[in-house]
Amino acid sequence: MKANRSIWPVCAGLLALVFMSCMNTGKSKSIPVRKQPFNRDWQFCSGDTAGVSWHKLNLPHDWSIEGEFNKDHPATFSGGALPGGIGYYKKEFNVPSGYAGKQVYIEFDGVYMNSEVYLNGKLLGRRPNGYIGFEYNLTPYLNVGAGNTLTVKVDNSQQPNSRWYSGSGIYRNVWLTVTGKVHVKHWGTYVTTPKVSKDQSDVHAEVEVINNRAEDRKGVVRTIVLFKGEKVSEKEQTVTLKAGNTHLVTDDHTVKNPQLWSVETPALYTLETEIYVDDRLVDRHRTPFGIRSFDFDTDKGFILNGRQLKIRGVCNHHDLGALGTAVNTRALERQLEILRGMGVNAIRTAHNPPAPELLELCDKMGFLVMDEVFDMWEKGKSRYDYSLYWDEWHRQDLIDFIKRDRNHPSVFIWSIGNEIPEQWEERGAETGRELSKIVRRLDDTRPVTAGMNPPIHTNNKDVTLQFDEPATPNALAGSGALDLIGYNYAHRTYLQHQINFPETPFIATETTSALATRGYYDQRSDTVKRWPYRWDQLFLDGNPDNTVSAYDQVSAPWGSTHEETWKIIKKHDFLSGMFIWTGFDYLGEPTPYVWPSRSSYFGVIDLAGFPKDAYYMYKSEWTDETVLHIFPHWNWEPGREVDIWAYYNNADEVELYLNGRSLGKRSKKGDDLHVMWRVPFNPGTLKAVSRKDGRDVLVKEIKTAGTAAQIQLEADRNTISADSKDLSFVTVSIADTTGNFVPTATNRIEFEISGPGKIVGVDNGDPTSHESFKAKNRKAFYGKCLVIVQSAGTAGEIQLTAKSKGLKPQKLVINTTRNRNEKD
Ligand code: GAL
């Protein structure tokens, strides 16, 4: 095969790998990087044009997000109303002859779904599960010194197979691992910290070393504990590595005065494993880990490093709004930053294994993770879902999931399932025991739970009341399979937990399901609505334009408003914490509505990443930052009675003024989480002042805006890395001539871009919009929209211009700088 110029960077990299390793003699420390991204220069064609019109792209890639919304797509509005189908990926690459004798593996972090991978026409494997990572050994079929073709077929044509938007394609990263014949196995390390104290901690390392040679070899396996690059402890042992065998090597280290991993100070250590054969370093493998202790107590709740900590979590699906599911580290990091701003300290990966990058970020940024593996077992929830593959695949998928994720210090709970249909049957108890046994065999340092509805296991009416009727005993909850009893909703049964399960601690695996459209408000705010009326009936009421009031006054009937659940969790120590459904809006599941809605209303933050008002309730409760947030806006019809809410903290009271006249002071009483004034609208300035001991703490003003006159642009980062991956999220706001935000503006904004960057997504958080996420324009929704800019590979100045008829345009410069260490 002819060498293809586009693949030369890979070939050059591989040559360098081989060359460097040939030069390694003696106990040399130099060794090539074993695992490299393999995302560049793939070709793609959709099933409709199979083999005909390939186009070039870089991974990760989600083809569904590029499609058009249509109610007839088989995914349905519940799955985001975007197309599925079949897609083919192809990558051609040359392997230099010096490459002989190496082991070459390809790793996919996730392909949605039903992937088949071929190397040079030979099938390497099939994998139905769209969220699991997997590796294939390329070595037996690799043309060394010649061209190779890797082909991947992805089949997401059988739908619905998901209750939310899944995305389609090779939507996570792909890696190429090149090693010698003796090396650390894939997911072959396991680091635990059996004894943790501030003075001294024990670190136990298990390493699986494989010898793929035809003869036995003596090897030296060295494990080194590093902190910030400095050696803390080192152990070495000589082992006989039998031909064709895998050997488990264990070492015990002691770390004096360890820096403990916590949500405030997420200190990371590294276990470095070196393998020497014939005095030559043949493999070096790194495993980041953390030293921390935690416990769930039936009375005290969650304890991290000896200190009680309320778990303030959110559930999130894996889509990244306008970017679809194509994983992007910066997009994930931005989500976590926004969540951190609200005081979130934990994430539940609803309801599937997450991208590895999410766990890496959580390790680094200090988020706890409830890592969840399945949304269903044997009994399906949608026609073509994973239940079809359960019998053949669940063991392997579960094993791979635990082995992949068990070294992350952020991971602190394993969830083996969400609202499993067989939870009320003996079969559910049996499967629960089977799964938790597998988990504990691979990792017994974290509790196992499942999200259940509701998790009671007796017929005692005192403890089984869920809504207004007794609930059915839950076989899974009573099975003994779980270390933590996971409540999905059922907040009215929380206080019976200690009677129901005196010996098993509590976790609210999923809570709330409050609903809101950012920027939209129904008067009056103090009537609570439960929409839809029932989970099993079509909802035909609501607002004609499919909006939901953003006062915290609407929730699904199985859930609660934001305030209702938090008030209970806050009060009782034994309630270890909660995971709100959801942190961010996601594509699909537009409860309470159906089409034309196509994305959720559950998020505390909308799909574009703009906080809804409830964000500030949590911020006032979950952070030490001083908060004063008043809403709604101040653009109403004259005389209309409007409820004004304030969320505040670190103050005794708030006084509200309209055009300089006091409307009175309010302070939270009892367990109140907000204060309210009911005010007839008069244009002008609303001013709120929070005070403590008579002194002003914060002042907030909202002014009646005039007509839309100008565009304002604000980038979350004005300098990004010139690596073809990094992103700048630019918030577009519409303002009047004096710069006041216009909260009702719907102007269409056109974007132009020049310089080393491109627009990769636009959004406005409207769950009913059918505009393309990939367009170069977007209508504002309640005054705002978002444009996402991605860097190219060269450093320079990106100029972004936003224009709209009748509005003053705006320009923004984003600088991109070259990060010399970037690969791929
Ligand atoms: C739960 C379910 C979630 C989501 C949520 C919406 O019952 O676990 O996946 O559907 O309801 O309220």
pLDDT tens per residue across span 684-696: 999 999 999 999 9
Determine contact, residues 658/677, Cβ cutoff 8 Å: no
The residue nearest atom 11 of ligand 1, judged by CA position, is 513
User: Residue 714 corresponds to which tokens in the numbers above?
Assistant: 């604000």
Looking from the CA of 69 toward its CB, the CA atoms found within 13 Å total 22
Whether the CB of 582 sits within 6 Å of ligand 1: no
Q: Which of 370, 510, 584 to mutate to test the pocket of ligand 1 (most atoms within 8 A of CB)?
A: 510
What percent of the chain stands above pLDDT 70?
A: 95
C-alpha 36: how far from its chain's center?
23
Whether the CB of 134 sits within 6 Å of ligand 1: no
pLDDT at position 47: 86
Compute the distance from residue 138 Cα to the ligand 1 centre, in Å: 40
pLDDT at position 471: 83
Q: Cis peptide before 473, with omega less than 30 degrees from 0?
A: no
Mean pLDDT of the 21-26 span: 33
- Count of other CB atoms within 10 angstroms of residue 477: 28
Active site residue 434: no
What does the alpha-carbon distance between residue 509 and residue 532 come to, in Å, rounded to a whole number? 22
CA-derived radius of gyration, the chain = 28
Compute the distance from residue 433 Cα to the ligand 1 centre, in Å: 24
Please check the confidence at residue 823 and state whether its pLDDT lies above 60.
Answer: no
β-bridge mates for residue 579, sequence order = 313
The residue nearest atom 12 of ligand 1, judged by CA position, is 513
Coil/strand/helix, residue 398: helix
pLDDT at position 600: 98
C-alpha 225: how far from its chain's center?
29
Compute the distance from residue 58 Cα to the ligand 1 centre, in Å: 33
Determine contact, residues 796/806, Cβ cutoff 8 Å: no
Residue 734: name the closest of 813, 806, 637 by CA: 806
150-167 in b/e form (b: 16+ CB < 10 A) is bbbbbbbbebbbbbbbbb
Determine contact, residues 514/600, Cβ cutoff 8 Å: no
Determine the atom of ligand 1 nearest the C-alpha atom of 419: 8
Compute the distance from residue 92 Cα to the ligand 1 centre, in Å: 42
The residue nearest atom 6 of ligand 1, judged by CA position, is 513
Looking from the CA of 217 toward its CB, the CA atoms found within 13 Å total 26
Compute the distance from residue 78 Cα to the ligand 1 centre, in Å: 12
Mean pLDDT of the 306-315 span: 98
Mean pLDDT of the 171-192 span: 97
pLDDT at position 18: 33
What percent of the chain stands above pLDDT 90?
A: 91
pLDDT at position 15: 34
Whether the CB of 375 sits within 6 Å of ligand 1: no
2 vs 676, which has greater pLDDT? 676
β-bridge mates for residue 56, sequence order = 43
The answer to which of 26-30, 570-574, 780-784, 801-805 has the lowest mean pLDDT is 26-30
What does the alpha-carbon distance between residue 512 and residue 822 come to, in Å, rounded to a whole number? 42
Per the listing, tokens 């599937």 go with 352
pLDDT at position 19: 32
Please check the confidence at residue 23 and state whether its pLDDT lies above 50.
Answer: no
The mean pLDDT of the chain is 94
Of the residues 419, 564, 621, 653, which is catalytic? 419
Amino acid at 647: Y
Per the listing, tokens 């035909």 go with 540
Amino acid at 414: W
- Angle (CA) 621 606 69, round 5°: 160
Determine the atom of ligand 1 nearest the C-alpha atom of 600: 6
Compute the distance from residue 559 Cα to the ligand 1 centre, in Å: 9
Q: Which of 420, 452, 511, 513 to mutate to test the pocket of ligand 1 (most atoms within 8 A of CB)?
A: 513
Q: At what angle do helices 390-405 and 426-442 cross, to 10 degrees?
A: 40
Active site residue 503: no
DSSP secondary structure letters along 409-468? TTEEEEEEEES-GGGGSHHHHHHHHHHHHHHHHH--SS-EEEEESS---S--HHHHBSSS
Encode pLDDT of 113-147 as tens digits: 999 999 999 999 999 999 999 999 999 999 999 99
298 vs 822, which has greater pLDDT? 298
Compute the distance from residue 240 Cα to the ligand 1 centre, in Å: 52
pLDDT at position 822: 47
Whether the CB of 581 sits within 6 Å of ligand 1: yes
pLDDT at position 53: 86
What does the alpha-carbon distance between residue 490 and residue 492 come to, in Å, rounded to a whole number? 5
The residue nearest atom 4 of ligand 1, judged by CA position, is 581
Mean pLDDT of the 358-375 span: 99
Whether the CB of 315 sits within 6 Å of ligand 1: no
pLDDT at position 2: 28
pLDDT at position 49: 66
pLDDT band at 51 (very low <50, low <70, confident <90, very high): low
Encode pLDDT of 641-660 as tens digits: 999 999 999 999 999 999 99
pLDDT band at 17 (very low <50, low <70, confident <90, very high): very low
Encode pLDDT of 712-761 as tens digits: 999 999 999 999 999 999 999 999 999 999 999 999 999 999 999 999 99
pLDDT at position 50: 65
Q: What is the pTM of this model?
A: 0.96
Determine the atom of ligand 1 nearest the C-alpha atom of 351: 9
